Amino acid sequence: MDTEVLRTFLEVNRTHHFGKAAENLFVTQSTVSARIRLLEEAVGVPVFTRSRNDIQLTHAGQRLLRYAENVLMTWNRARQEIAVGEDVSMLLSIAGMQSLWDIILQDWLNHTYQQHRDMMLRVEVLDFESIQRRLSEGSLDLAFVFDIPLSWEHSVIEIARVPLVLVTNLKGASVNDAMQSDYIMVDWGTSFSVSHARLFPDMTSSTTHVGLGRIALDLLLKCGGSAYMPESMVAEHVKKKKLFIVKDSPVIERVAYAVFPENEEKGKTINNLLSYFKI
């Protein structure tokens, strides 16, 4: 199977339009149609339902989607590893949850990049489900997450404990004031949500929900309000009295983990890279 056929399948699914897929792939629309027809002949069933302005996956197409993504990912990784020059010691595929990059991972990546210029690094930001899937498929060498399923059959190392503190732009605000006035609910993962609900069972639903810490921080500094934020992320702003830690507010601690498959070739290198966290 030509990988361009699978790439075209994924692009049509992403755009829901043959013409737009053709533009993005720099081919003609007739080429896109021919590739999809070739794919459907190969698998023996239609993979898309076609209407004028809405192309949707069939049930068979939905089942094919994951395999197509995996094949292309594996092929691209194989091409990269084969093309690695003699001066490159290793290719590492790394992914981390979005919220962890701002808290601890960017500094670690900067250090790794500076100290190991002989490595080829492929770095991604992925959600928890994608990380789980990619680890099970073997297309990730190292992942950073907050929550650890008990069923994971990989090496798991605790790399950091992240205290989340309640901060506000209002000096002297009480916990009750902070939780009611312009409170920003930041998504710090499942365990945080559970702890938050337990600590504040009577809290009314926040009107602002944010999935990334840096967005919440910018809102706090420029628009005001309150939110649970990593202590390290707000320390400088607290020192300058732009933000204030709410007195007597509970600290919610998250634990960050590194997860990696058992790999004799790369295991020693990964453990060496993780020593940055002073485990």
In a 10 Å sphere around its CB, with 0-12 CB exposed, 13-18 middle and 19+ buried, how is residue 168 labelled?
buried
Q: Of all helices (H) and strands (E), which one includes residue 88?
A: none
What is the spatial distance between Cα 66 and Cα 127, in angstroms, rounded to a whole number?
Answer: 16
Beta-bridged to residue 158, according to DSSP, are 257
Nearest to 71 by CA among 171, 158, 1: 1
Nearest to 243 by CA among 266, 226, 262: 226
Identify the pLDDT of residue 235. 95
26-84 pLDDT per residue, tens: 899 999 999 999 999 999 999 999 876 778 999 999 999 888 887 887 777 666 666 55
**Cβ atoms 152, 217 nearer than 8 A:** no
Query: In which band, very low, low, confident or very high, does the pLDDT at 3 lie, cut at 50, 70 and 90?
Result: confident
According to the model, what pLDDT value does residue 47 have?
93
Query: pTM of the entire structure?
Result: 0.68
Which domains are present in the chain? 3-82 (1.10.10.10), 86-279 (3.40.190.290)
pLDDT for res 82: 60
With vertex at residue 201, the alpha carbon angle to CA 195 and CA 202, rounded to the nearest 5 degrees, is 150
Query: What pLDDT is recorded for position 279?
Result: 58
pLDDT(221) > 90:
yes
Rounded Cα distance between 103 and 225, Å, is: 20
Distance of alpha carbon 228 from alpha carbon 188, whole angstroms? 9
